[in-house]
Structure 1
Amino acid sequence: MQTIKKKGFSPSKKSEPQLMTMANKALDLVSLHQKNLTRAAVVLAAVVVIAAGYTLLQSSNDKKASAMLAAAQGFYQEQAAGAAPDYARALEGYRDVFKKYPRTTSGAIAQFYIGNCLVQLNQPAEALREYEALAKKKFVDKGLAGLAYQRMGYVYSALGKQTEAITSFEQAEAVLGPGLATVELAKLYERSGNGAEAQKKQKVIAEKLGGTTFAPAVQGAAASGAAAPPAPGPAGK
């Protein structure tokens, strides 16, 4: 029977050069990754610096916009001496804020008041465009968007456009929850002959608004058909 002899291991003369080659390749690979990591670190640092700079810029813009907004508010509100508000000058001021700082909180509030001024200056179509543009912005505060829809409801109602008014008040209620929009919806549904929907809103008023400070007033307005007070501006202005 043939015997299978076990061969002993004999290092090849090329083993050492091959190992050196592999080691060099590994070092090159590490070096390459180090370069890439260094680049990534530099890019990350640049992004951090840019982000910090953007934050500081936004903070500076917010302060400037806030000061300009306060100046415009001075014309919008009744003057200390009893003089009537100057809506034309207020409109000019709000537009200046919105033009220069549209993506700030003050810029968004300014756009809301642009709509308010246009209503006071008997330009409802322009006002509706401003309110709608504000309400549909992705970055705008949810509460401010709801107020914009609510104001649209009042403007449409004043124009005799009940269908559009109902749509706007429904959007406002969806964003803000039960409130003035609910009261207006109860009245509008009643006027349009939709008693079922009117009763639903009256039920919401009774259940959700019973403990609020303005509940008696709004319930009385809904029952009598009288106009409820207009939607307040941001921060109660």
Structure 2
Amino acid sequence: MYLNLKYPKVNNHFKFRKFTIKQENSVFKVGTDGVLLGCLANIDKATRLLDIGTGTGLLSLISAQRNPSISITAIDSEEEAASLAKKNCSESSFSKNIRVIHEDLNNYFSDFLFDYIICNPPFFKASKQLHQKHPVARQQIKFSYDLLFAKAKEIIDKDGKLGLIFPTEGEKEVLSKAEKNNFYPERLVYISGIRNGKIKRIFIEFSLNKKEILTDSIYIEESPREWSSQYKKLTADFYL
């Protein structure tokens, strides 16, 4: 979902309560999926977070605001995105919490383990017909779920969590690839664009330990262009 009709936008900036996201045409822009993922992730007790495919730096900044004591590493395979994320994070009041690195996930290694890994992955399979804008952010060219879970298993703490958001059509595939790497869902949130509408997205939080799965749902709009009370409550600390 990309519902940006009511985001406060001035000169290609998105102003949130405690930080501003500068945007460029070469980098995938702020959308509802990223905001949802950042707000739904259970990072209250996390101390080290890895943001994979950071883009504008949105997830890192939301995470830093939600948990001021967290240490964040943000990576992106695209030089333009890493540069923009570094700029956005360095100009925020959370700059000391966030380190941005230009690196491909496949080549990334860490000297320490993370207790939360967050990722808003490319939704579409790679094909000969590439998206004209942001092909790497939109299509799985440099990314695959096999790579994500395999790499996450190497660098996540034994009690760590992995949070993702993706279209509901991919649920079976993601769950299957997760289980192959011993990641198990412990929390699922089904997301509709509008009240009583079709479920379009799913947020899943994984861990390396099998637990009882908690399931919830949320819808974004009560009616067209009217945010639901659920969404307003979830994002109240961020929107102006």
- Fold-level match, TM-score > 0.5? no
TM-score (normalised: structure 1): 0.27
More strand by share: 2
**Greater per-residue helix proportion:** 1
> Could you say which structure has the larger radius of gyration?
1
Higher relative contact order (CA 8 A, sep 6+): 2
